[in-house]
Structures are given as C-alpha cells and as structure tokens.
Chain A
Amino acid sequence: MKKILINFVLILFAFIIYFLQSNFFNWFTIAGVMPNLFIIYILFIGLFGSRTMALVYSSVCGIILDLLFKERIGVNLIGFVLVAIIATLFDKNFSKDSRITIMFMVMGVTIFFEIITFFMNYILYSMYVEIWSFIKILIIEVIYNIIFTIIIYPLIQKFGYYIENEYKGNKILTKYF
C-alpha cells in the first residue's frame, strides 16, 4: 500500500514538473534559459529509490518527452537512463545529507545529460554546432538547476528518506561496511 502511494506521488510529481516546465518556465527564465527539472527528478529517484525504480521512471519520462517533442525516440530516453545509472552510483559512494554534495551531483548530471543529448542531436538531426553558445546556456542552466535544488531539497529530503526506508529497508547501512 505504501509503495503504491509512493509511486502515485512520484507520477503526480512528474506531471507537475511537465506542466511547470512547459507553461511556467517557458516564461520564468534566466537570460532566456530554462532549468531542467526532469534531471533533478530522475537524480532524486536514483538517489533514494531502487535501481529498477530509477530505470523505469527515467525510461518512461524519456519516452514520453521524446514522443511529445522529438521527431524520433532516443535523445531524452538515453539521456535520462544514463542519469538514473549515475544517480544510483552516486547513492553508493556519497552522502545525501550534505547540501554541497547534492549541489555537485546536480551540476554533474546536468552537464552530463546536456552534453550527451547535444551530441545525439548533432548525430540524429545534423544540428548546427556552436560550442560557445552551448557552454553559455549550459552554465546558466546548471546555476538555475542548483538554485532550484537548494530551494526544494530540504522539502523533498524527508520524502526521499521515506522512499529509501520503504524500498531499501535494512540494506541502507550494509553498503557502508
């Protein structure tokens, strides 16, 4: 029952993020650059949930975003799944209590995701490459994502530990020994 509730809330979060991203953040930008809340969402699930959960959620989000906005499926799907894998690796090696660590994690996965998707867009859609413009947008996006994480992380941290207790239970401590 608790697991059903957790998944229901996570799906609801995904819908809220989608509608925020496509309606609110189209207007609320920093120098015309939007944050990418889906990266933070997948990172959150990867850190607190199980690996299977992270892979399923990242695949579904990726496929839906590709179907809605892209000509072909693949760019968001592969990008999000790789973010999920990295997030599970972060979970094994770093503490989630430090806000600085979380900020670095957000920075790392945002840079990784955008470079991967930029590279795939270049291959799939013959995108015109402008390295300096890309770096400029990426830096602003990373800052925006970090600011957003600083604001929301304390609010979602408790829910994260609730998910962790439910999905990992007695495995939480054993990984440190």
Chain B
Amino acid sequence: MYRKKKGELLGIIITIIILILIVVFSNMESNTSFFENIVNKLVMPIQNSLTYLKNRISGNSTFFTDINNLKTENQMLQDKNSKLEQSLRELENIKTENETLKEYLGLTEKYGDYKTIPGYIINKDISNYSKVIVINIGKNDGVEKNMTVIADEGLVGHVISVTDTTAKVRTIIDTSSSISCLMSTNKDSIVCKGTLNSNSELKAMYIATDANLIQGDSVDTSGLGGIYPKGIHVGTIKTIVATKNITDRYAIIETAVDFNKLNTVLVIKNN
C-alpha cells in the first residue's frame, strides 16, 4: 500500500518535471516555430476549407442556385465586363490626373504611407478569455512578428507569432493588449486596454487629471511603445465614467472595427 502511494507520488512528480522541461525547451524561438509549422500543416488545410464553406453558406445566397440561372447571369456579366473595361481605361486616365493634383495639394490617402499585405481570418481562439485570431499570411508573404494589423475602419492588433503560411494576431480587444493613444481634440494621452466584457469596447485608463474628455471624440494611436505607428484610428469615446478619486476615472472606447464581422485585414510592413 505504502509502496503504491509512493509510486503514484513519484509518477506525479516526474510528470510535473517533464512538463516544466517541455515548457522551457519548447519556448525557445526556433523549436516553437518548427512545431507550429507541423501543427499548422496538419490542421490548416481542413480549417481553410471549413472557413471557405462557412463563408459561402453564411454570406452568399447564390451558392445553391441552378445552372440555367448561372448561364444567364454569366452572359449578362460578360456584357457588363466589356463595358466596365472601357470605363476602367477612362478611369485610369482620370486617376493619373487626380494623383498629380493630389500631389500638388499635398494630400495623402489615409493609410497611403504604409505598405500593406492583405489577408483574411481563418481561425479564432477557442478560449473565452483570449481574443487572438489567425490569418492566412505568414513568413512566405513577408509577415514578421510585431507588425501592425489594420482593417478598413481602423486598428485590429499586432502579430505575435508567425509560421510559414499563417500568423497569430493579438487583437486590441484582448485583455493582454495595451495601446498608447491620443485623443484627437486636445491631444491628451491615454492607455487603452481590452476587456473581457465586450468585443467592441476598450477601457481607456491613466487619464491625466487635467485632461478634458469629450464624448464622441476620436482616439488614435500615439506611436509610443514601438509596435503601432502613429495616427491609426482606434475608435471613439463612448462613455466617460467618473469616480470619487479623479485619478481612477476611465472612459469606454467603442472600437472602429467591428470584430464580430471582421474577415479581411491588412498587415503593415515595417519598412
């Protein structure tokens, strides 16, 4: 009996030691990347097809239409296509002219300064407490760790780990995420953190006591911290929560990006 209990205790101790060794050794950059690639190669082909199927079923009603309809539609589209090609040529001339005019006026497009790589979301973390997403572009496409990820509406997050064909992105709504921001009206600095409560809200903290918060004011990245470039739109101030002690007051920021409907993203290249 004693020997049996001793054996069980020894078994548990050995398991814990092996676990610690696995955690320590596997967290060395090269090892992790190697195993991540293997796991991704195993899971991602099926995951990609399921995501594709899910997108088709949820967002496209023409998936199950009959062939006759498709033929008629095809004919119509071909006609439309030739007309569009003609318009495109005209538009290209106008575009060139427009760009020259923009240069004269000193205008730049919102994110025109950044070189971006487009990608789409293929997986989301299965935990309720983490909001990490996986995108379908990786080292082969030029994605690197700590690159900023944006969508049309604003900031999405940053790359935390990359494999050859995929990248993990920690979104700004993740509770481990923390962004240094500026309020657009008075240029006061705040820190925005993700919350467990919502997929569309951030908590703005460390607000200066003399800062003037305005509801509906736009919040952009400040460029501090070394990950996010300056001037990327994060969201707008939704509510201001006053506390007894003014240093503890905080604001709720509504994110510009709708994370529940987010499908496509852009990764900003560092250089």
Query: Distance in Å from the Cβ of B163 to the closest Cβ of chain A?
Result: 9
By beta carbon, the residue of chain A nearest B260 is A32
Q: Which of B22, B47, B193 contacts A128 (CB 8 A)?
A: B193
How would residues 50 to 61 of chain A score, 1 for a CB under 8 Å from any chain B CB and 0 otherwise? Answer: 010001000100
Please choose the segment from A1-9, A98-106, A117-125, A152-160 that sits at the chain B interface, where 4 or more of its residues have CB less than 8 A away.
Answer: A117-125
Counting CB contacts under 8 A, is A12 at the interface?
Answer: no
Interface size on A, residues (CB 8 A): 43
CB neighbours (8 Å) of B125 from chain A are: 69
| Interfacial chain B residues near A36, Cβ < 8 Å | 126-128
Task: Indicate if B43 sits at the interface (CB-CB under 8 A).
Answer: yes
Are A121's CB and B130's CB within 8 A?
A: yes
Q: Which residues of A contact B197 (CB under 8 A)?
A: 130, 133
Say how far A33's CB is from chain B's closest CB, in angstroms.
5
| Cβ-defined partner of B22 (8 Å) among A70, A77, A126 | A77
Q: Once the chains are docked, how many angstroms separate the CA of A68 from the CA of B163?
A: 10
Contact: B32 with A67, CB < 8 Å? yes
- A67 in contact with B128 (CB, 8 Å): no
A23 and B50 form a contact (CB under 8 A): yes
With both chains docked as a complex, state the minimum distance between the C-beta of A67 and any C-beta of chain B, in angstroms: 4
**Which residues in B have their C-beta under 8 angstroms from that of A121?**
129-130, 175-176
CA distance A26 to B127 in the complex (A): 10
6 contacts between A and B (CB under 8 A): A19-B47, A22-B123, A64-B43, A71-B160, A77-B23, A114-B129
